[in-house]
């Protein structure tokens, strides 16, 4: 491909790249993760669900497609792909599951593999520029200590596999590789079995290489079409076997334009430099992290002057025009349609169908990675070709020293976490004997209300998933990268029906979230079911009272204890507490709470004094399209009023309490306020963003009189 390029080197030291990779691994990661029984470093953050999904997958029966992981997600039709558990290793180690220790993790072995292959393919890539082993070694260290790879050690272990990108760049740049179809087929299949984002990057680079070869007379168009069809079939089969198609077509994701790359990302150290401070703009977008490193900037200083009188860059670009176009596509996609430059931005519209598919790769900032590595390669090419042998070696050595020293500020904190004291037992708060007894009676563990990417995962629900995994139970208490949105809605509807009717599956133990606790207590069948607090969790155990050998639970939950008494004249705000929100409400926000759906209910405790009315402060969801919101209000089942709100501003309206409703309330101990909201509509339906909640009334506060 290049002038004076030699692929033959009789003195090629094959161990050098592997030693460099091992050096990088031991320095940035440390050896403790290699202990397959050590899970101390996997219990927090994203690694917790990567590991737990593997535990479920390992214990499940073999199925076809072999990547299905049915117990981790139950009705969500999950596979090992969508927990980012590195299907390539998960499937391999499952084969030998019977011979592995009870506690086993392969993530440490995976990280070592990534470092070794990052070094190997970097060595091969730099070998296209120079035959000098010293220069190849120094340049390889720069690739191994690229901040964007090391950054993924914080928990996105599948995404540490940047060697796949470098391997793809090597394949497209190297001319003298035989059987490229086999090489690309292997690379595409492996990348698909590692992570979908990496597969997308490798896939576009392959298509680039295919078109380049088709344009050359030695590789006919017919052969390229043949390769395209064969590899598409191979990739589709591998994807199906791994479980990529298990979630169906109803994948609803948001975020394209949010998790993008800033135009200044390569200069923004984000804490990964002792010398270069973060750029002065507010942005909390980790997916857009693309800092090059001070060592690379050092190279730029010496490359820039030789651009004026050297034609190496022109030669390189002219021979790889289509690759340049592909890299521009990666760049444009990575910055998204919301283009940010420091603290400024501008947005250009995209058709809905384009956004739909763009949201599949919503963390678009990652798509800059092929550009990132090509920038480093071009700089190395210019430095090595533009200076004499000794000079370029010295400059590379200084650049490596700077890169290692300065990026230490970023990876040293990650290393400390990965080098946590060894532990093979999960630190669980579930210590009551109840959990052991419940394990005998229930086959499924369910969470109400089921959600994906729950804010409670790190604090609570991961422990429930671990409990289910420990006793080989299936559960919907999961965290997944992608789900079938229709199936999640069905699961949520099923959970809502159970809460409203008080009827639960006999084979399932339910964990109730705080917002659903009051409704669960209201409709509880106290003759057979138990609602209680156990180890900080609210559990609903169907048919527990029928179990003669089961222990009595002390901290049973009573509705009267959940509803904090309200003093007449007291203003109750809904910007933090959801205590009195029974059903049909969204999460609380700083200003209050939106209704979610066409029906919403409040449950208010009654004190000793009679209540004659309730003043509600709320803001209707109205605009130029939806000009009014109608409220049909009932108290304890008795219709009391119809209210029409038309102004997009906080409003006060009064709800009179009939004597009949108050008398029923005296018997039950509470007032049940039902709001029917027929004009509820989602912002997405109105073309105002991607919010799919059915909004009608923003509840700010209420006062009982």
Task: Determine the pLDDT at residue 379.
Answer: 94
- In this predicted structure, the answer to whether residue 378 has a pLDDT above a threshold of 60 is yes
Q: Which two tokens stand for residue 215?
A: 């344009």
- In this predicted structure, the answer to whether residue 2 has a pLDDT above a threshold of 50 is no
The pLDDT confidence band at residue 308, using thresholds 50, 70 and 90, is: low
Mean pLDDT of 679-693: 85
Mean pLDDT of 567-592: 88
- In this predicted structure, the answer to whether residue 66 has a pLDDT above a threshold of 80 is yes
Spell out the residues 6+ positions from residue 549 whose beta carbon is closer than 8 angstroms to its own. Answer: none
Angle subtended at Cα 422 by Cα 421 and Cα 426, rounded to the nearest 5 degrees: 110
- In this predicted structure, the answer to whether residue 9 has a pLDDT above a threshold of 60 is no
Inter-CA distances, 434 with 376, 478, 530, 532, 588, Å: 57, 22, 12, 11, 32
* pLDDT tens for each residue of 165-219: 999 999 999 988 888 999 999 999 999 999 999 999 999 999 999 998 888 766 7
Task: Determine the pLDDT at residue 310.
Answer: 60
- In this predicted structure, the answer to whether residue 293 has a pLDDT above a threshold of 60 is yes
* pLDDT tens for each residue of 483-533: 888 888 889 889 989 998 999 999 999 999 988 898 999 999 999 999 999
Task: Determine the pLDDT at residue 284.
Answer: 64
* pLDDT tens for each residue of 84-143: 999 999 999 999 999 999 999 999 999 999 999 999 999 999 999 999 999 999 999 999
State yes or no: cis peptide before 461, omega within 30 of 0. no
**CA–CA distance, 449 with 512 (Å, rounded to integer):** 7
Mean pLDDT of 658-669: 87
Spell out the residues 6+ positions from residue 29 whose beta carbon is closer than 8 angstroms to its own. Answer: 111, 112, 115, 153, 415, 418
Inter-CA distances, 432 with 269, 460, 473, 536, 675, Å: 47, 15, 18, 10, 40
**Strand, coil or helix: what is 119?**
helix
CB count, 10 Å around CB of 502? 17
**CA–CA distance, 57 with 61 (Å, rounded to integer):** 8
Note the pTM of the prediction, 2 decimals. Answer: 0.88
Q: Which of 19-28, 357-366, 435-444 has the lowest mean pLDDT?
A: 357-366
CB 421 within 8 A of CB 284: no
Task: Determine the pLDDT at residue 594.
Answer: 95
Task: Determine the pLDDT at residue 3.
Answer: 43
Task: Determine the pLDDT at residue 624.
Answer: 86
Mean pLDDT of 435-457: 90
The better pLDDT of the pair 345, 467 is held by: 467
Task: Determine the pLDDT at residue 481.
Answer: 85
- In this predicted structure, the answer to whether residue 419 has a pLDDT above a threshold of 80 is yes
* pLDDT tens for each residue of 525-549: 999 999 999 999 999 999 999 988 8
Mean pLDDT of 34-43: 96
Mean pLDDT value across the chain: 90
**CA–CA distance, 538 with 510 (Å, rounded to integer):** 8
* pLDDT tens for each residue of 215-250: 876 677 788 899 999 999 999 999 999 999 988 765
Task: Determine the pLDDT at residue 4.
Answer: 43
Task: Determine the pLDDT at residue 342.
Answer: 86
In the numeric block, the tokens 């989602």 are attached to: 682
- In this predicted structure, the answer to whether residue 407 has a pLDDT above a threshold of 60 is yes
Task: Determine the pLDDT at residue 449.
Answer: 86
Q: In 3D, which of 181, 175, 189, 187 has the Cα closest to residue 226? A: 181
The better pLDDT of the pair 281, 227 is held by: 227
Task: Determine the pLDDT at residue 325.
Answer: 92
**CA–CA distance, 377 with 367 (Å, rounded to integer):** 17
Q: Per residue, what are the HEC states of 545-581?
A: HHCCCCCCCCCECCHHHHCCCCCCCCEEECCCCCCCE
Task: Determine the pLDDT at residue 138.
Answer: 96
Percent pLDDT > 90 in the chain is 66
Spell out the residues 6+ positions from residue 233 whose beta carbon is closer than 8 angstroms to its own. Answer: none
CB count, 10 Å around CB of 155? 18
Burial of 345 per CB tally in 10 Å (0-12, 13-18, 19+):
middle
Give the best-scoring range by mean pLDDT among 10-24, 141-155, 568-582: 141-155
**CA–CA distance, 143 with 162 (Å, rounded to integer):** 10
The pLDDT confidence band at residue 5, using thresholds 50, 70 and 90, is: very low
The pLDDT confidence band at residue 644, using thresholds 50, 70 and 90, is: very high
In DSSP terms, 656 is beta-bridged to 613
- In this predicted structure, the answer to whether residue 12 has a pLDDT above a threshold of 80 is no
Phi-psi label, residue 166: left if phi above 0, alpha if psi -120 to 50, beta otherwise? alpha
The better pLDDT of the pair 554, 442 is held by: 442
Half-sphere exposure of 659 (CA within 13 A, CB side): 0
User: In this structure, is the dihedral angle defined by the CA atoms of residues 366, 367, 372 and 374, taken in order, positive or negative?
Assistant: positive
- In this predicted structure, the answer to whether residue 22 has a pLDDT above a threshold of 50 is yes
Task: Determine the pLDDT at residue 249.
Answer: 66
DSSP state of 589: -
The pLDDT confidence band at residue 311, using thresholds 50, 70 and 90, is: low
């Amino acid at each position: 491909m290049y002038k004076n390029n030699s692929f033959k080197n009789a003195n090629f030291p094959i161990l050098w790249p592997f030693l460099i990779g091992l050096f990088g691994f031991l320095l940035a990661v440390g050896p403790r993760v290699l202990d397959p029984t050590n899970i101390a470093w996997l219990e927090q953050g994203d690694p917790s669900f990567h590991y737990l999904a593997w535990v479920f997958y390992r214990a499940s029966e073999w199925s076809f497609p072999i990547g299905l992981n049915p117990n981790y997600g139950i009705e969500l039709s999950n596979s090992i792909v969508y927990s980012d558990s590195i299907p390539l290793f998960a499937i391999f180690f499952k084969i030998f599951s019977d011979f592995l220790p009870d506690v086993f993790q392969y993530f440490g072995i995976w990280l070592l593999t990534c470092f070794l292959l990052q070094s190997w393919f970097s060595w091969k890539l730099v070998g296209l520029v120079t035959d000098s082993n010293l220069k190849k070694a120094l340049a390889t260290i720069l690739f191994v200590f690229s901040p964007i790879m090391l950054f993924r050690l914080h928990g996105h272990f599948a995404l540490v596999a940047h060697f796949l990108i470098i391997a793809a760049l090597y394949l497209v740049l190297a001319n003298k590789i035989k059987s490229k179809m086999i090489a690309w087929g292997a690379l595409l299949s492996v990348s698909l079995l590692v992570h979908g984002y990496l597969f997308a990057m490798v896939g576009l680079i392959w298509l680039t290489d295919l078109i380049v070869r088709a344009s050359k007379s030695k590789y006919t168009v017919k052969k390229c079409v043949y390769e395209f069809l064969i590899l598409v079939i191979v990739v589709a089969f591998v994807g199906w076997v791994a479980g990529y198609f298990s979630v169906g077509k109803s994948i609803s994701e948001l975020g394209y334009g949010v998790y993008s790359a800033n135009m200044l990302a390569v200069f923004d150290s984000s804490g990964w430099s002792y010398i270069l401070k973060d750029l002065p703009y507010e942005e909390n977008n980790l997916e857009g992290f693309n800092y090059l490193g001070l060592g690379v900037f050092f190279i730029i200083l010496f490359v820039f002057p030789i651009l004026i009188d050297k034609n190496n860059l022109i030669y390189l670009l002219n021979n790889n025009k289509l690759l340049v176009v592909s890299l521009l596509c990666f760049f444009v996609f990575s910055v998204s349609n919301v283009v940010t430059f420091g603290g400024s931005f501008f947005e250009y519209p995209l058709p809905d169908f384009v956004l739909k598919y763009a949201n599949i790769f919503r963390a678009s900032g990652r798509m800059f990675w092929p550009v990132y590595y090509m920038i480093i390669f071009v700089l190395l090419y210019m430095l090595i070709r533009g200076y004499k042998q000794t000079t370029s070696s010295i400059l590379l050595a200084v650049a490596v020293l700077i890169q290692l020293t300065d990026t230490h500020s970023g990876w040293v904190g990650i290393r400390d976490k990965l080098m946590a004291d060894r532990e093979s037992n999960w630190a669980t708060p579930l210590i009551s004997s109840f959990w052991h007894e419940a394990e005998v009676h229930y086959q499924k563990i369910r969470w109400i209300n089921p959600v994906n990417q729950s804010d409670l995962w790190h604090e609570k629900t991961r422990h429930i998933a671990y409990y289910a995994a420990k006793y080989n139970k299936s559960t919907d208490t999961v965290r997944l990268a992608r789900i079938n949105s229709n199936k999640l809605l069905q699961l949520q509807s099923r959970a809502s029906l159970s809460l409203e009717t008080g009827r639960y599956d006999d084979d399932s133990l339910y964990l109730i979230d705080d917002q659903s606790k009051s409704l669960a207590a209201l409709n509880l069948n106290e003759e057979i079911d138990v609602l209680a607090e156990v180890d900080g969790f609210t559990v609903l155990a169907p048919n527990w009272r029928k179990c003669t050998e089961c222990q009595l639970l002390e901290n049973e939950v009573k509705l009267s204890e959940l509803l904090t008494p309200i003093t007449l004249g007291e203003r109750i705000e809904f910007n933090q507490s959801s205590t009195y929100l029974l059903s049909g409400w969204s999460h609380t926000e700083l200003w209050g709470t939106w209704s979610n759906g066409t029906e919403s209910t409040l449950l208010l405790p009654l004190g000793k004094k009679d209540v004659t009315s309730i003043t509600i402060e709320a803001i209707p969801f109205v605009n130029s399209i939806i000009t009014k919101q109608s409220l049909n209000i009932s108290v304890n089942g008795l219709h009391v009023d119809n209210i029409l709100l038309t102004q997009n501003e906080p409003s006060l309206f009064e709800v009179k309490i009939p004597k009949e409703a108050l008398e029923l309330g005296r018997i039950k101990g509470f007032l049940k306020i039902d709001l029917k909201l027929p004009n509820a509509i989602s912002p997405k339906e109105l073309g105002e963003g991607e919010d799919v909640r059915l909004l009608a009334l923003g509840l700010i506060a209420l006062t009982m009189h």
